[in-house]
Amino acid sequence: MWRFAQVVVQGTGLHSLTAAIVVTLAFAALARALRGVSVSGALAGAVICFLLYAGAGPGAFLALVAVFAITWAATKLGYRRKQDLGTAERRDGRAASQVLANLSVAAACAVLFALSHSKAVFLLAMAAALCEATADTVSSELGQALSPRARLITTWQEVPAGTDGGISLPGTLAGVVSAVLVAAACAAAELFTRTWTTLALVILSAAVGMIADSFLGAWLERRGILNNDLVNFLSTLIAAGIALLLGR
């Protein structure tokens, strides 16, 4: 971490480091005020926000804002229905473990980008991880809000909405659309070269990660081998890994 701080200061200056701290504190306070995260979630989110901003610049922060706005809206939509299903997010917001599970891979990619002297492929991986985290959350939240039933991805058996490994057409489509929106935000923030090929690479990586999340949920989470946080972490890691391989 000390090496990372040195790289940030040398590369962007003390002023940018100060800006990262100020933006981080403001974002964490806003996320908590909107009940998007719990107190522990706000603290974890502050760390993630700082690493993204300090490592990859203000564009990464703008991408994070897009992720938060989209997932917050998806969580609130149909909340009463999700309460009836017993799958609604806590009113206090997401805890630190959930925040870290969804965003730590993206933050790690931002750190690697800074430490590697700006190898752009790490920004592709970061964008893919952010897109996957958004797609996974939105597909789950809107799938439960819009469809009472789902299909288990491994057997295609019909299961109640909210079942681990269950997918639905509305949820899947919503997840893909949300990945496109975050990828577009990353492109607008100039985190990667704005070409159709690069945009497609990021979205494809996120979509594969989202599907992998469902498979992991059906195979391992339903059996109690992995919990939801580990499944989410692995799916963002898969998305980032695919983007790294294809981006090279």
Q: Give the model's confidence band at 129: pLDDT under 50 very low, under 70 low, under 90 confident, else very high.
A: very high
pLDDT at residue 5 is higher than 70 = no
- Residue-wise pLDDT for 45-59, tens only, equals 999 999 999 889 999
> What secondary structure does DSSP assign to 72-93, as a single string?
HHHHHTTHHHHHHHT-PPPTT-
Q: Helical H runs in the chain?
A: 2-12, 14-33, 39-56, 58-76, 79-85, 96-115, 121-146, 169-188, 196-216, 228-247
Q: What is the pLDDT of residue 16?
A: 67
Evaluate whether 76 touches 138 at the Cβ level (below 8 Å): no
- 246/125 Cα distance (integer angstroms): 10
Mean pLDDT computed over every residue of the chain: 89
pLDDT over 90 (residue 19): no
Q: Is the dihedral of CA 54, 55, 57, 60 positive or negative?
A: negative
Say if residues 201 and 74 touch (Cβ distance below 8 Å): no
pLDDT band of 110, cuts 50, 70, 90: very high
b/e per residue, 158-187, with b = 16+ CB within 10 A? Answer: ebebbbbbbbbebbbebbbebbbbbbbbbb
Helix axis angle, 58-76 relative to 96-115, nearest 10°?
A: 160
C-alpha 213/C-alpha 148 separation (Å) is 20
Q: What is the residue extent of each domain of the chain?
A: 2-247
Question: pLDDT (tens digit, 9 = 90+) per residue, 183-221?
Answer: 999 999 999 988 999 999 999 999 999 999 999 999 999
Return the bridge partners of 238, or none: none
Q: Output the pLDDT for position 91.
A: 72
Going by C-beta distance under 8 Å and a sequence separation of 6 or more, which residues neighbour residue 138? 70, 71, 74, 171, 174, 175, 177, 178
Which run of H or of E encompasses 158?
strand 158-160
Least confident of 72-76, 131-135, 211-215: 72-76
Maximal C-alpha separation, the chain: 56
Q: Which two tokens stand for residue 168?
A: 């639905």
Provide the percentage of residues in the chain whose pLDDT is more than 90.
68
User: With the CA atoms of 232, 235, 237 and 239 taken in that order, what torsion angle do they form, in degrees rounded to the nearest 10?
Assistant: -140
